[in-house]
Amino acid sequence: MRQNPARRAALLDAAIEVLAREGSRGLTFRAVDEAAGVPRGTASNYFANRDELLTQAGARVHERFRPAPATVAMALEGPRDRARLTALMRDLVERISAFPSGQLALLELRLEATRRPRLREILTRQIRDDLEANVDFHLKTGLPGDATTVVLLYLAINWLILDRLTLPEVIPEDRVPELVEALVERLAPAEGAR
Amino acid sequence: MRQNPARRAALLDAAIEVLAREGSRGLTFRAVDEAAGVPRGTASNYFANRDELLTQAGARVHERFRPAPATVAMALEGPRDRARLTALMRDLVERISAFPSGQLALLELRLEATRRPRLREILTRQIRDDLEANVDFHLKTGLPGDATTVVLLYLAINWLILDRLTLPEVIPEDRVPELVEALVERLAPAEGAR
DNA sequence: TTGACACCACTCCAACTGTAGTACTACGTT
DNA sequence: AACGTAGTACTACAGTTGGAGTGGTGTCAA
């Protein structure tokens, strides 16, 4: 079992790309090797089996999704009103839609998690922690709305992104901003009402 | 190419089960044969290739999801207030969560649709029509809320179901009814406000 | 009798996995 | 400075699997 962390990360990133591009059907050790531009057999040296590869890829997606420091900074400036929240949500939709690989890979992994307890465990923790962090952040910064607001936003925004990534013609492109605005407007109480 | 429609439908139903159970990676002609309890090679006689199998399975899911006549009838009785809408939504979540195969297969197909234009076309039409029918039904029966309400409900409810099916521990089981209620409460205007 | 289909068996094929063997590099030792 | 060692990259291969597709035969119904 090889240990080189940079190479391992590169292989995992390649695995994420393969997952997004070819689906879990196309995710083989060889495909990972090729996507990473390393000789055949390399992935075999780093991951004992498919399950290892998938769970580590899940952790890697987590790792790459977490930071987003620019957005955090942006949220801390200016007023904390609904307009700001709307802007944040629009930014979120745009940002994730613009880099679909991670999100698509995550969906593939979710479906795989149905059959792989270890993977399910990892994804559960990762997504639950993320959601909790969002709630905390939201409440702490004084953005409009309560904890339920954040959870409901999470639900709707995620499916909106899924629709855009997989079946973009179900909801016309130009309705997206309007929908996000309506979501915030209805899910977060008006400023006066707090 | 065989034509027997009953057998074809049985093969497609088997394909849906395989998709839900084993994912698109496990969807092979042989697996379909076995799931349908027919001799090996049969699926080959009914579908020229994988693409055919998937697109026809997509259409078949559509076919099986459409009816739901009992729920329609239920929606037509009693008052059309928010409590009724909440009950309808809860029923929807329960009903779909209780028969996960169709929903999981649909998700697998969505991801496949990323790479298969024909499949994307079929799923898009099917889901768009469904959503439009829901909007029409909602408005016609006078349930609370406007067209946007229905779309936003569609988004949030779908991801809620996805979470329950794939990572049930992200959102605790017992929070689901409460979340559905909060959704309806916030997305549909109060009765007096209409 | 003819045509369509179910069933069965068989062959071909493609690809993946995992490992063994070799070469390289870096580092530490003497 | 020379040497030895450990870890890693690379290459090739051997074994295995499993699926696709097809041709032939039996059966049933028109």
Predicted confidence (pLDDT) per residue in B114-153, tens digit: 999 999 999 999 999 999 999 999 999 999 999 999 999 9
Give the residue carrying structure tokens 């200016």: A78
Tokens of A149: 């607001």
Q: Does B104 touch chain A (CB under 8 A)?
A: yes
Q: How far is the CA of A40 from the C1' of D13 (A)?
A: 12
CA nearest neighbour of B123 among B27, B58, B64, B61: B58
User: What stretch of H or E contains B118?
Assistant: helix B117-141
Predicted confidence (pLDDT) per residue in B149-194, tens digit: 999 999 999 999 999 999 999 999 999 999 999 999 999 987 654 4
Is residue B102 helix, strand or coil? Answer: helix
pLDDT at B70: 72
DSSP classification of residue B192: G
Tokens of B190: 């109060």
Q: Is-contact A116 A54, C-beta < 8 A?
A: yes
Q: How many CB atoms lie within 10 A of CB B98?
A: 7
Closest-approach nucleotide to residue A45, Cα vs C1': C18
pLDDT at A194: 44
pLDDT at B194: 44
Q: What is the pLDDT along chain A (194 residues), one digit of tens a residue?
A: 888 999 999 999 999 999 999 999 999 999 999 999 999 999 999 999 999 999 999 999 988 887 567 777 877 888 889 999 999 999 889 888 888 999 999 999 999 999 999 999 999 999 999 999 999 999 999 999 999 999 999 999 999 999 999 999 999 999 999 999 999 999 998 765 44
Tokens of A57: 């890829």
Q: Which residue in A114, A125, A135, A178 has the most chain B C-beta atoms within 10 A of its own C-beta, making it the best mutation to test that interface?
A: A114
Q: Does B4 touch chain A (CB under 8 A)?
A: no
For residue A4, the one-letter residue type is: N
Please say whether the dihedral angle defined by the alpha carbons of residues B131, B135, B140 and B145, taken in this order, is positive or negative: positive
- The Cα–Cα gap between A57 and A44 comes to 14
State the nearest Cα–Cα gap between A169 and chain B, in angstroms: 7
